[in-house]
Amino acid sequence: MTDAPSYGFDTLQIHAGARPDPATGARQVPIYQTTAYVFRDAEHAAALFNLQEVGYIYSRLTNPTVAALQERVATLEGGVGAVCCSSGHAAQIMALFPLMGPGLNVVVSTRLYGGSVTQFSQTIKRFGWTAKFVDIDDTDAVKAAIDDDTRAIFCESIANPGGHIADLDALSAIADAAGLPLIVDNTSATPYLCKPIEHGATLVVHSMTKYLTGNGTVTGGCVVDSGKFDWAASGKFPSLSEPEPAYHGLKFAETFGPLAFTFHGIAIGLRDLGMTLNPQAAHYTLMGIETLSLRMERHVQNAEKIAAWLETHDAVEAVTYAGLDSSPYKERKARLCPKGGGGLFTIALKGGYDACVRFVDALELFSHVANLGDTRSLVIHSASTTHRQLTPEQQKAAGASPNVVRLSIGIEDARDLIADLDQALAKASA
């Protein structure tokens, strides 16, 4: 596509990255189910392996179906490039990999998905990295956590599970002052509701498993590069600014400019970590993104109706939805997510842990699964599942206390969903 920025979101979600197949004229992006690609000649092969020419070598690195998806997500987010990988968790490691090293740290929001808390608090220690968890709303705490060994700030735009909206403008100002990249997980918001790069984010990560695919069929992750960060300015990011031994001293920042992070993610990250997205999964996600705006509008409409109804229910102690007039994040929603606060939030039940368990078991339309962002409405009791491995203090900080249930509102008829919630709340309170 030419002059892509002039097109609207609804057009880009269908056309970005997609071109008729030159060999067959196929209009939908084909599934290129191949491991390798034939080189024109020895000189062509050498140029590809030496990063002197862009093309396809081996599907651990690059694949035409995956490349179409990378272009589409990068376009929707307003980035210069993207790297797709096997899952959202893989995307988080891929985002940090070029930035970190033994003894270095990342400042991380306490309001994260439970698996992310575990990844940052436990797993990354095996690389010699550490995470400093802070209340991302406390800007003084964020500033105080940054030291000479800090290499990034990480948060979620709309937090899972509580629906909390991070003040990206304030966080990007802190990151800029410290010469650090701001990494934003935009899974719950999607680029339809929030554009983190427009608010100063350096990198945007996604679990494409959720709203981007939208139908609960495949896992996938993506890292979008804003192209706006100067990786060579401070000397803190040698993987990107200094000579790379594996490519005869090539400097990614010098050679690829705004696309330095993207090329490093493919040429080093996917090459050595191997967190590859398979082309079939990429195909499903491409098809899902074609209806992203339509689905997100319905997710938001339903969430607003249901959250407002739940807020008045006698069995409900609190509702965390940012789209409510009573939400403390109402101003941030208007500024950062003007099209709505998403389809994800939590409710606290007056009956505590036992009431939550009865409530989840009594639901009929809502599916009890460890996922979110599906067309179907989903429910989970985070404290006993996704956040079970956390301490009570960590659960509370993440918005997943024992009396809290997470709801992912789907695109069904809102009246049917309310009826299901009503009967389940009655049984939970009995």
Answer whether residue 4 shows pLDDT above 50.
no
Candidates 403, 400, 407, 327; CA nearest to 110 is 400
Residues 6+ away with beta carbon under 8 Å from 38: none
Beta bridge partners of 247: none
Q: What is the pLDDT of residue 387?
A: 67
pLDDT digits (tens, 9 = 90+) for 190-233: 999 999 999 999 999 999 999 999 999 999 999 999 999 999 99
Asked whether 383 and 402 are in contact (CB, 8 A), the reply is yes
pLDDT, tens digit (0-9, with 9 covering 90-100), for 99-146: 999 999 999 999 998 889 999 999 999 999 999 999 999 999 999 999
> 265-298 burial, b if ≥16 CB within 10 A, otherwise e?
bbbbbbbebebbbbbebbbbbbebbbbbbebbeb
Q: Look at residue 253 in the predicted model and tell me its pLDDT.
A: 98
- Take residue 74 and report the two structure tokens written for it: 């990068």
Place of tokens 């918001």: 189
For residue 5, the model assigns a pLDDT of 55
* Farthest CA pair distance, the chain: 75
* Over residues 319-331, mean pLDDT: 95
pLDDT of residue 3: 47
Determine the Cα–Cα distance for residues 406 and 380; give it in Å rounded to an integer: 5
The full set of domain ranges for the chain reads 4-99+181-288, 293-429
CA dihedral over 164, 261, 104, 88, signed as positive or negative = positive
Q: What is the model's pLDDT at position 327?
A: 95
* Torsional sign, CA 83, 89, 94, 96: positive
Outline where DSSP puts E strands in 241-376: 316-319, 344-349, 367-368
| Tokens 């427009």 belong to residue | 198
- If we measure between CA atoms, which residue out of 198, 190, 122, 124 comes closest to residue 158? 190
**Residue 117 burial by Cβ neighbours in a 10 Å radius (0-12, 13-18, 19+):** buried
What's the pLDDT band for 323 if we cut at 50, 70, 90?
very high
The per-residue pLDDT for range 417-427, each reduced to its tens digit, is: 999 999 999 99
Same CATH fold, 293-429 and 4-99+181-288?
Answer: no
Amino acid making up residue 62: T
Count of helix runs (H) and strand runs (E) in the chain:
18, 12
Who contacts 85 (Cβ-Cβ below 8 Å, separation ≥6)? 91, 94, 220, 221, 222, 223, 269, 270, 275, 276, 277
Q: Which two tokens stand for residue 60?
A: 């651990």
Please provide the average confidence, as pLDDT, over all residues in the chain.
Answer: 95
pTM: 0.95
Class level of CATH domain 4-99+181-288: alpha beta
At 26, is the pLDDT very low, low, confident or very high (cuts 50, 70, 90)?
A: very high
pLDDT score of 386: 67
* Per-residue model confidence (pLDDT) at position 162: 86
Q: How confident is the model at residue 39 (pLDDT cuts 50, 70, 90)?
A: very high
Per-residue pLDDT band at 57 (split at 50, 70, 90)? very high
Burial annotation 229-264 (CB, 10 A radius, 16+ → b, else e): bebbeeebbebbbbebeebeebbbbeebebbbbbbb
Contact 173, 144 (CB under 8 A): no
The architecture of the domain spanning 293-429 is: Alpha-Beta Complex (3.90)
CA atoms within 13 Å, Cβ hemisphere of 25: 0
Contacts 24+ apart (CB under 8 A), 140-145: 142/107, 142/171, 142/174, 143/174, 143/178, 145/107
- CA–CA separation, 354 vs 213, rounded Å? 34
Quick: pLDDT tens for 347-391.
999 999 999 999 999 999 999 999 999 999 999 998 777 666 777
How far is CA 201 from each of CA 151, 152, 158, 173, rounded to the nearest angstrom? Answer: 14, 11, 14, 10
